[in-house]
Structure 1
Amino acid sequence: MLRLRRCFLSQLHFHPSTSPVSHLHRLLSATSPPVSPNPPICPNRGFIVEDYLVDTCGLTRPQALKASTKLSHLKSPAKPDAVLAFLAGLGLSRADVAAAVVKDPLLLCAGVGRTLVPVVVGLTDLGLSRAEVARLVSITPRFRISIVSKMHYYLSLFGSGDNLFLSLKKNTYLLTTDLEKVVKPNVVFLRECGLCDRAIAKLGIQVERMLTTNPERLQAMAACAEAIGLPRGSGMFRQALQAVAFLSKEKITARLDYLKETFRWSDAEVSIALTRAPRLLRKSEEMLRGRSEFLISEVGLEPVDIAHRPVIICLSLEGRLRPRHYVLKFLKQNGFLDRDRNFSSAVMKTKKYFVEKYICPHKEVAPHLAEDYAAACRGEVPTNFRFT
């Protein structure tokens, strides 16, 4: 315990020759948010929790009304004041404190020395900075309940604090869900599906609740991913799992039907498209309809060609597809292309490559082309690109 206390004190830059407790109190009181010198105490009613939450903690009146139901036993501001001082010592702003109290009103009742200090010490021992600990307080709904063992597991799984906090931003339930019964079985299952920890971490970041969902539900998602043509162990399985996550079978079936109708695909062609771009299942109907009208009606691509290169559906229409189509059409109409260039290939290239191969070689015969292309990328339609 002495080692842990020393570690905590060194993190807060205490002088070792001075009493840790007194130094802790001085640091916290020096950096604490302004506590009302006249706490909201009514002569007849005593300490008023709701007013304290508004005036001192920064909650809105509706938030305070809801939170006060869990704090009705408080008779004075002594313990909440100590907690607020401690949080300020960690560097939490008034807004951060309010967010933490909204998530967990009982945080204000936690013992500083008995509960909060050991948690902070444990987290700093894992390598978290004080700023990261403060951030954790404001986003997790159960900071007062020791989360050190869970953080240790997640830091190993996610590979870095940055990755873990990206996931926590979407899913704070990572720190409240049972590790042994839910999270670890899900991770083991995903490993059995051929995913490495890096891929699992990506899923945890990209898909809210993926790691904290019921294991049986996760297994059902994997079955749906396989059903669209991407078996476990395949290179695209993670993307397929991400695409079908939390979609019902009925919704997946409806989206398959919409893709077939919109892009004029056969069953075989829609299967080919999804094995190469499973994220199509997540695109809106409006977006898919717009891409179909442009690629088939305006560019003139065959549905089967789109099915074999479905990634072009996911590219930006205004920022990439349409401007490059204008350039290719202009070059062909003016006889500047020495051979027919494939649209699908041209739009898949990087912008630098496209400019070097399709614009720079023609700067003498078409000196305006680079400027027109840039304008088209901004959503404009230069005169040279207004075809009849």
Structure 2
Amino acid sequence: MAGLSYLKRALDSSLHRGDVETGNGHDQDEVKLHQVRCLLSEYGFTTDQITRVYKYTLTKSRNEETLSEKLAFFRSILGSNDDVARIVAAYPKMLQYSLENKLMPNYQFMKSILGRDEVVAKSIRRWSALLCIGIQNNLAVKVSFLRESGLPCSSIAKLMENSPRVFGMSSTSKLEESVKKAMDLGFKPSNPLVVSAIRAICQISGSIWDRKVELYRKWGWSKEDFVTAFKKHPSIMFTSEEKINKVMDVLLNTFGFSSSDVVKYPLVMHLSVEKRIVPRCSVVALLISKGFLCPSFATYAGALRTRDEIFVKRFIDKYPEHVLELWRKFRPKDVV
């Protein structure tokens, strides 16, 4: 068997060459490399993607399964060659796992939780390594724990669909600690938001978690305020520290809101300061100053949460003589 460095040179050579001769004197490794290249090309792999996966396709499978069978299996789940190429190139190690003993059983287990192929595909697109981890000593144990903790099947499925890394990268003990912490913060197993809470607690390290809690405290939140906001919108903990400072500074120092106002509508922590918060709040502030709107944070929050077309209809088109010039300054593309 040729060494890895030789195989890489052979692959690089074959990628820039036409058909490879198959005469008696030709190196069989290079022939194999050419065959792999052709097969991957049929599935739409680019030259760079082929280079990424070559060492995994050239390792002889212990059960003699072929690369073509695995690629066909991935396409049967994902539905397109583009997805197959992207996902395999991102995690080529999956090609070394047995189709019969690992990839297919994991797919079947995921489908028993998620129900539909399109949902399984969505989960795999987010984190394909879920197809390669142990079932009995990992996936099944975690799913059983979540069921025993009282989470309904729909919540377990939503967690696997949107946050598959929770099942793969987190240990069982970490998952158990995360569920306990979510319950201690007041989440009920039946609450659909418990999924977002578990995801946040599980995926954010303890030190970063503590830093963000302290940062919210510095902007005026008490411990109770944080719990209230987190229960309404657990994803506030995925907001970066830089973004927390930026949003709070604009809302409190530019527009004069209180920190308790933000507790009531924590969704604003995810909005773009430049594209959404400043333009919309500026328009609302102008309309309030002219007596057209009620001067409350609820008015601002409602304007911030609505879709672009609805906001323009309610706040721009309704009062063009007052706010059109201001809106054009911030969002010229939205002005016809």
TM-score normalised by L of structure 1: 0.67
Q: 2:264 aligns with which of 279, 285, 308?
A: 308
Equivalent residues in 2 for 1:29-178, closer than 5 Å: 48-56=6-14, 76-88=29-41, 90=43, 92-102=45-55, 104-107=56-59, 109-110=60-61, 114-116=64-66, 119-120=69-70, 123=73, 131=81, 134-135=84-85, 137-138=88-89, 139-144=91-96, 145-146=98-99, 147-178=103-134
Q: 2:331 maps to which residue? A: 377
CA distance in 2 between partners of 1:377 and 1:122 (Å): 47
Q: Counterpart amino acid of 1:361?
A: K
- Given that 2:280 and 2:303 are in contact with CA atoms closer than 8 Å, whether structure 1 keeps it comes out as yes
The gaps in structure 1 that reach 5 residues or longer are: 1-40, 59-73, 380-388
CA distance in 2 between partners of 1:125 and 1:294 (Å): 47
Q: 1:272 aligns with which of 200, 222, 228?
A: 228
Larger Rg: 1
CA distance in 2 between partners of 1:361 and 1:117 (Å): 61
Q: 1:295 aligns with which of 238, 245, 251?
A: 251
Residues 360-384 of structure 1, C-alpha deviations (whole Å, 9 max, x = no match): 3323x43xx23531431369xxxxx
Residues 299 and 128 of structure 1: CA distance in aligned 2, closer, same or farther (over 3 Å): closer
CA distance in 2 between partners of 1:171 and 1:209 (Å): 6
CA distance in 1 between partners of 2:74 and 2:132 (Å): 20
Residues 303 and 177 of structure 1: CA distance in aligned 2, closer, same or farther (over 3 Å): same
Q: Does 1:185 align with 2:141?
A: yes
Equivalent residues in 2 for 1:356-367, closer than 5 Å: 356-363=313-320, 365-366=321-322
Q: Does the residue aligned with 2:190 lie in a helix, a strand or coil?
A: coil
The gaps in structure 2 that reach 5 residues or longer are: 17-26
Q: Counterpart amino acid of 2:274?
A: E
Residues 129 and 51 of structure 1: CA distance in aligned 2, closer, same or farther (over 3 Å): same
Q: Counterpart amino acid of 1:280?
A: I
Question: What is the deviation of 1:218?
Answer: 1.3
Instruction: Report the number of matched residues.
Output: 313
Question: What is the deviation of 1:276?
Answer: 0.8
- Given that 1:291 and 1:313 are in contact with CA atoms closer than 8 Å, whether structure 2 keeps it comes out as yes
Q: 2:196 maps to which residue? A: 239
Q: Does 1:285 align with 2:241?
A: yes
Q: Which has the higher helix share?
A: 2
Percentage identity across paired residues of the two chains: 18
Residues 214-252 of structure 1, C-alpha deviations (whole Å, 9 max, x = no match): 222211221232333323322310111121123333432
CA distance in 2 between partners of 1:331 and 1:159 (Å): 49
Q: Counterpart amino acid of 1:178?
A: G
Residues 141-164 of structure 1, C-alpha deviations (whole Å, 9 max, x = no match): 233521223223334544555544
